């Protein structure tokens, strides 16, 4: 009976703490969603419910175009960074200590440098090679600052992995590629997924680096938003963010239900095999 109470208390504390954290994380999100429906341009008072900002949003060519670029760059850069970063993490993990330290320190540079330094130095790099600034240069810059986060997410999983698992697999007859695919990747996959998520996050919200590495009409959402700084953020932006948020939530729900269905299927099959 005592343990039952303790575990109930444990559960309560766990759930309460989780709830607190989520309230903390989502409070501003709720606020910004509410403001997207506010007839007033400023968040000072509620002047009535309106869908005006949503309508104005779709009429705004610059914002919609920059939204498209934002998503394209985020998806592309995080995917490419995840691939390069995962292989890099494996490589770094297996390097001799000196080389590893050097690579890790180099890897840290994009994370630790102020954005302006990364942005300006990459711009200088592109200009040095006489490249036209635009989508490709912005993409290259995003991949560059994404890879370190992927590496930092995958490395701990590699360290956690039993050391000789690769050898063991190959001793049992697996080719290196098969061992990689079926042994290493599953072990480190949470790290890979986390890395991809974080990379995507960094990319979607970047302003300074993007600003200095793009041009020729290619803009991203952050640039559009930050450039409104002198004038004040138009609630069209709130509307766009709300749409983004709701879309991702819906996606999550759908994927979740799909997976739920699939796991039911396997269960049934397993059951029938019994």
Footprint (CB under 8 A) of another protein, residues 123-182: 123-128, 131-137, 140-141, 143-144, 147, 149, 151-153, 155-157, 159-160, 166, 176-177, 180
Residues 193-222 that bind another protein (CB under 8 A): 194, 197-198, 200-201, 204-205, 207, 211-212, 215-219, 221-222
Distance in Å, CB of 273 to another protein, minimum: 22
243 binds another protein (CB under 8 A): no
**Member of 50, 174, 233, 243 binding another protein (CB under 8 A):** 233
The full DSSP string for 1-31 is -HHHHHHHHHHHHHHHHHHHHHHHHHHHHHH
Residue ranges in the chain assigned as alpha helix (H): 2-35, 52-59, 61-93, 97-112, 115-128, 135-160, 165-171, 176-179, 185-204, 208-213, 221-227, 235-273
210, 142 Cβ separation under 8 angstroms = yes
Q: Which is nearer to another protein, 27 or 51 (CB)?
A: 27
Total residues contacting another protein by CB under 8 A comes to: 134
Among 227, 258, 267, 268, binds another protein (CB under 8 A): 227
Distance in angstroms (rounded) separating the CA atoms of residues 76 and 85: 14
Nearest approach, Cβ of 270 to another protein (angstroms)? Answer: 16
């Amino acid at each position: 009976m005592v343990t039952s109470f303790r575990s109930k208390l444990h559960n309560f504390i766990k759930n309460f703490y989780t709830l607190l954290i989520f309230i903390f994380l989502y409070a501003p999100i709720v606020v910004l969603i509410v403001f997207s429906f506010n007839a007033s341009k400023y968040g000072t008072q509620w002047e009535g419910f309106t869908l005006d900002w949503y309508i104005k949003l779709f009429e705004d060519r610059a914002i919609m175009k920059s939204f498209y670029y934002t998503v394209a760059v985020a998806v592309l850069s995080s995917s490419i960074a995840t691939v390069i970063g995962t292989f890099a993490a494996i490589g770094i993990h297996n390097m001799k200590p000196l080389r590893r330290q050097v690579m890790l320190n180099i890897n840290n540079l994009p994370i630790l440098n102020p954005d302006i330094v990364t942005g300006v130095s990459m711009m200088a790099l592109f200009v040095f090679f006489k490249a036209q600034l635009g989508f490709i240069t912005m993409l290259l810059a995003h991949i560059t600052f994404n890879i370190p986060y992927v590496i930092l997410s995958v490395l701990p999983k590699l360290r956690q992995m039993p050391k000789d698992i690769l050898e063991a697999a190959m001793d049992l007859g697996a080719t290196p590629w098969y061992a990689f695919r079926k042994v290493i990747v599953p072990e480190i996959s949470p790290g890979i997924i986390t890395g991809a998520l974080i990379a995507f996050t960094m990319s979607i919200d970047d302003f300074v680096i993007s600003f200095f590495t793009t041009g020729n009409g290619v803009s991203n959402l952050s640039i559009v938003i930050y450039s409104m700084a002198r004038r004040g953020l138009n609630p069209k932006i709130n509307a766009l963010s709300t749409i983004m948020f709701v879309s991702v939530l819906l996606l999550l729900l759908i994927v979740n239900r799909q997976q739920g269905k699939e796991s039911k299927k396997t269960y049934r099959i397993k059951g029938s095999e019994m």
